Amino acid sequence: MTRRPMLLAAIALTAAAALSLSACGSDDSSNDKDNDKIAGADTGSETPASPSSSPSASDSVDRPKIVFPSDAKNVFEYEKTGDAKKDAALADSAQSVNSVDEAIFEGSTGTKALGFYNADKALGAYITYAQKYIDDGETWVGETRYFDYKVTLSGDSKAYVTYCSDESKSYIKDKKTGKVDRSPATANAYVLYNTGLTKNADGVWQTTAIVSNRGDKACQP
């Protein structure tokens, strides 16, 4: 199955970002046009619980707590680089992903974390993305895996992060009926993301630009 495609076709990274990402071996990509949904799974309770494998920040910034239902989990597979700035950018990149999913679970794009970890065009695109779930009365359950991370820095306040996602074990759920989409997973369950982050005055690495390519061969097993 694939979850909803990101509505990010209009968002482009800067030229510097494109060069940096190219140096990482990532592909320039545009938004997926496919509207397939991901394969099915058992549903569980929706009692709030902490998202799985969410990196915790070690700085003194007062960060919003992100809460997931017990039947959904994001797993982030990356190792610390040893560079404090890169590691902070990676951690906040993961929290950006969590913040978007939290908005879907909460049924609101007014969550504190969404605007905390995202800004500029990326924030607008994420609001549109989450709102589509909300309008359609849908959420998701299961596990989404994020892997193959690459990060580069540009000066003190810009970072570029690429990564893949595996949505083959996460599934669309109708909130009203509780029914889970059990369509078979396809290549579209794998997505390549190219993102740009900017460090704000509070020291948070906000995602400000993103391009995604669903079904990218670089992310497929």
Question: Residue 75: is it exposed, middle or buried by C-beta count within 10 angstroms (0-12/13-18/19+)?
Answer: middle
pLDDT at 182: 83
Write out pLDDT tens, residues 157-206.
999 999 999 999 999 999 999 999 988 889 999 999 999 999 999 999 99
Q: Are 95 and 51 in contact (CB under 8 A)?
A: no
Question: b/e map of 194-208 (b: 16 or more CB within 10 Å)?
Answer: bbbbbbeeeebbbbb
pTM (whole model) above 0.85: no
Confidence label for 3 from pLDDT (cuts 50, 70 and 90): low
Q: What average pLDDT does this structure show over 127-148?
A: 96
Confidence label for 4 from pLDDT (cuts 50, 70 and 90): low
Per DSSP, helices labelled H in the chain are 15-23, 84-106, 112-117, 120-135
Angle 92-67-164 from CA coordinates, rounded to 5°: 45
Distance of alpha carbon 123 from alpha carbon 210, whole angstroms: 10
pLDDT at 199: 98
Return the SS3 of 207: strand
pLDDT at 54: 47
Return the SS3 of 46: coil
Asked if the model's pLDDT at residue 32 lies above 70, the reply is: no
pLDDT at 61: 85
Q: What average pLDDT does this structure show over 130-150?
A: 97
Helix axes 84-106, 120-135, angle to 10 degrees: 30
Return the SS3 of 206: strand
The residue whose two tokens read 């992310």 is: 219
R_g of the chain computed on alpha carbons: 16
* DSSP conformation letters of 144-197: EEEEEEEEEEETTTEEEEEEEEEEEEEEEEETTT--B--PPP-GGGEEEEEEEE
CA atoms within 13 A on the CB side of 74: 24
Q: Which H or E element spans position 212?
A: strand 205-214
Using a pLDDT cut of 90, give the percent of the chain over it: 71
Asked if the model's pLDDT at residue 14 lies above 90, the reply is: no
